[in-house]
Amino acid sequence: MLDFTVSILPLVAIGVVNFFLSWLWYSPVLFMKPWATALGFYGKTEMTEEEKKAMPFLFLNGAVASFILSYGLQVVVHSMGATSFAQGFLIGVVLWVVFALTHSMNTLWEGRKTVVLVINNGLFLLTYAVFSGIVAVWR
């Protein structure tokens, strides 16, 4: 049975953690250099005025997307009746393959390098699987 109720604390916690994990993932600490190089951004020192103006919208978009992901994972995991981390984790992996990975394949049609697909989907797999495992046990 579909369960559209969510717990607010996990929703907020996972939304916030996802936002900052995404920031860290694409930072110099982890994958910024290979990701930015593959996209042709690496070594660029100045942002244009247009790029600067777009940043608040991009950050807001990322934050909203994080909360939508958190909500969606809770709905699916709870509707499927998962009660253990392992069950939630497996559901997250399936969701990643069926939705995120398949849609991300479009990056190859856009002429982007495979490394972009791999880096992006590393984050997607991590977030879908781990967060689904967490919401299975944190109700």
Interatomic CA distance for residues 80 and 82, integer angstroms: 6
pLDDT, tens only, 41-94: 888 778 889 988 999 999 999 999 999 999 999 999 999 999 999 999 999 999
* Total domains present in the chain: 1
**pLDDT for the residue 50:** 93
Residue 73 resides in a domain: yes
- Vertex 109 angle, CA 122 and 59, to 5°: 50
Contacts of 132 (CB under 8 A, 6+ apart): 73, 76, 77, 82, 88, 89, 91, 92, 95
Residue 1, in any domain of the structure = no
In a domain, 2, yes or no: no
pLDDT per residue as tens digits for the range 6-38: 889 999 999 999 999 999 999 999 999 999 999
**Per-residue confidence (pLDDT) for residue 46, from 0 to 100:** 82
Of the listed ranges 38-42, 91-95, 114-118, the one predicted with least confidence:
38-42
Per the structure, the complete domain to which residue 51 belongs is given by 8-137
Q: Angle at the Cα of 115 (from 36 to 27), degrees rounded to 5? A: 40
Task: Give the model's pLDDT for residue 47.
Answer: 82
Look at residue 40 and tell me if it is in a domain: yes
128 has pLDDT over 80: yes
Helical pair 49-79 and 114-137, crossing angle rounded to 10 deg:
40
**Does residue 3 lie in a domain region?**
no
Q: Is the pLDDT of residue 114 over 80?
A: yes
